[in-house]
Amino acid sequence: AITERLRGALAGYYVHTESNDFLGGERKRDLYRLSPSLVYQVGENSLLELGYTYSRRENRVTNDSEDRNRVFLSFSYALPIEK
């Protein structure tokens, strides 16, 4: 935690796939994704998250690639459960 109410989060993954399509063509793809974010606890049951996601898709057969950059803001609220 950065402070009592603020914390950082980091998520990511890598996926490699190889297959053949129904016409016998070869497919080889790689997908990378990295997503850092800051999460702020607004109240006892609510969170505010600001983050960024970078993803890259690479086609190893055609050497094509696609990059994506996204910024997001989300608000979450959980209904309190009586004890």
pLDDT in tens, 40-55: 999 999 999 999 999 9
- 41: Cα separation from own chain's centroid: 20
What is the pTM assigned to this prediction?
A: 0.74
* Residue for token pair 């609220």: 77
Mean pLDDT of 50-75: 95
| Confidence label for 19 from pLDDT (cuts 50, 70 and 90) | confident
